[in-house]
Structure 1
Amino acid sequence: MTAAYDSPVVLDRREGPYGEVVLRRHGTLLQLIANGCFLMDTSDGRSERLLVDAAYDALDGRSTPDVLIGGLGVGFSLAHAAQDRRWGRITVVEREPAVVEWHRDGALSGITAGALADPRTKIVQADLVTYVNETSDTFDALCLDIDNGPGWTVTEDNDGLYSPAGLAACARVLRPGGVLAVWSAEPSPEFEGTLRNAGFRQVRTEEVPVARGVPDAVHLAVRPG
């Protein structure tokens, strides 16, 4: 029997502030599960890298821009940003203490060890919704990867992030001309409309084909200058 058909093995299971989080291994892959909902694994990472690259490209050559990444996950977005010396400060907001620990000294450390050692990197343990409403800091780009998409959130608490009020909070932490990039497990024309109604400009969607089913998507929008 090949590794692809092995049964998943739970490496750690924690009761976090927002419910159960599980790290498990399935063959060669590491997987994150939250409250029984599959979040992501280490199989690919193309769409997470696109999330970061598309945000940078949309900034039109802004010098050493600062980026806020919402969600640490398996670490692909952080690792990719840290490999790019064009970024300035790289701030990651992650609300699950267990996920942060798994990256610092657990099974996920192999993905992000270099990024965590980078002096540009800062990890903030907080709920992103609360953070964007309360922080006094601002950024050139905000990359959101905390859910499976605007219509498929991990917890009900995250729904508000994609509402007009939530998007206004996202715009508040962006500098004029800053870019909001939102990862989604599928394209959402409805969310594009919500972005436009919230005052964002240059709204568009980039798709990443997957082996089966609908493509992953990155929704991009610019805060007016």
Structure 2
Amino acid sequence: MPLTTHDSPDAPEVLDRREGPYGEVVLRRHGTLLQIIANGCFLMDTSDGRSERRLVDAAAGALTAAGKNTGPGGRTAPHLLIGGLGVGFSLVHAAADPRWGRIAVVEREPAIIDWHRAGPLAALSAEALADPRAEIVRADLVEYVRETSDTYDALCLDIDNGPGWTVTEGNGGLYAPSGLADCARLLRPGGVLAVWSAQPSPDFEETLRNAGFQHVRTEEIPVARGVPDVVHLGVGPG
């Protein structure tokens, strides 16, 4: 019998449960939806995806506003780093857009990568992962931005519920001055940092400005209920 969280026939069905490097990660099916749960905390599901798509589009729009070419042909197509694979909405949306060049997705949970490569989430992301521009980098994003020598035109970060609401304590450094300095180092001239958040954060906007980011602003993303999600945007210094 499949494992469920309750005995009710409407309860989510647990498809896989693993102990990962940062705790327990669970993939559930609830009706037609697939859900990812980390250490008992709901992270995301396949219900919508508008926030994830808007994150990528906001970065592309900010690149255009900053004078960076985001069209196919001409100068080299911009390289995109997506922080967090999740259920794959950001990757799938980016891969469907011919304006992007390399699309690197940094994901630290081996289970989530497996669910996309050979599990239930492959139905959503298989075509995107087969795109020669796309690759998955198995790494902790905080460590990756600190250590990599790769550079990008856009960084789209979606690993937490926001700068002040992190999934794990260690992620907080990414939104601090030292973490933003690492992000800035990865950005090519005119490159854009885009950070998804479940709520606006004026304090984070100020931290971005103090870290040298220019044209800092926040875009709202309407949701079905409650406070809109947002994307914090800034153009890298230099």
Q: Same fold (TM over 0.5)?
A: yes
User: Aligned to 1:192, what secondary structure does the other structure show?
Assistant: helix
Tell whether 2:45 aligns with 1:18: no
- For 1:43 and 1:66, locate their aligned partners in 2 and report how far apart those are by CA, in whole Å: 28
User: What's the CA shift for 1:214?
Assistant: 0.8
Amino acid across the alignment from 1:204: R
- Cα deviations by residue, 1:136-192 (Å, 9 ceiling, x for unpaired): 110000000111111111100101001010111111111111000001111111111
- What does residue 31 of structure 1 align with? 35
Paired residues in the alignment total: 221
**Alignment equivalent of 1:58, drawn from 38, 49, 62:** 62
**Alignment equivalent of 1:185, drawn from 184, 198, 210:** 198
Matches for 1:71-220 after TM superposition, within 5 Å: 71-220=84-233
User: Aligned to 2:11, what secondary structure does the other structure show?
Assistant: coil
Larger Rg computed on CA atoms: 2
- What does residue 6 of structure 2 align with? none
4+ runs deviating over 2 angstroms: none
- For 2:173 and 2:98, locate their aligned partners in 1 and report how far apart those are by CA, in whole Å: 33
User: What's the CA shift for 1:198?
Assistant: 0.9
- For 2:163 and 2:10, locate their aligned partners in 1 and report how far apart those are by CA, in whole Å: 32
Amino acid across the alignment from 2:43: L
- For 2:224 and 2:102, locate their aligned partners in 1 and report how far apart those are by CA, in whole Å: 34
- For 1:195 and 1:33, locate their aligned partners in 2 and report how far apart those are by CA, in whole Å: 30
- For 2:48 and 2:90, locate their aligned partners in 1 and report how far apart those are by CA, in whole Å: 12
Amino acid across the alignment from 2:23: G
- What does residue 9 of structure 1 align with? 13
| Cα RMSD (Å) | 1.0
Unaligned segments of structure 2, at least 5 residues: 1-8, 70-74
User: What's the CA shift for 1:65?
Assistant: 0.3
User: What's the CA shift for 1:47?
Assistant: 0.8
- Cα deviations by residue, 1:90-125 (Å, 9 ceiling, x for unpaired): 001000000000000101001110110000011100
User: What's the CA shift for 1:54?
Assistant: 0.7
**Alignment equivalent of 2:52, drawn from 48, 54, 62:** 48
Are 2:184 and 2:237, in contact at CA under 8 Å, matched by a contact in 1? no
TM-score by length of 1: 0.96
- For 1:52 and 1:86, locate their aligned partners in 2 and report how far apart those are by CA, in whole Å: 12
- For 1:128 and 1:173, locate their aligned partners in 2 and report how far apart those are by CA, in whole Å: 12
User: What's the CA shift for 1:6?
Assistant: 2.1
Amino acid across the alignment from 1:20: E
User: Aligned to 1:43, what secondary structure does the other structure show?
Assistant: coil
TM-score by length of 2: 0.91
Of stretches 188-197 and 64-73 in structure 1, the one that deviates more from structure 2 is: 188-197
Amino acid across the alignment from 1:175: R
- What does residue 72 of structure 2 align with? none
- For 2:142 and 2:48, locate their aligned partners in 1 and report how far apart those are by CA, in whole Å: 27
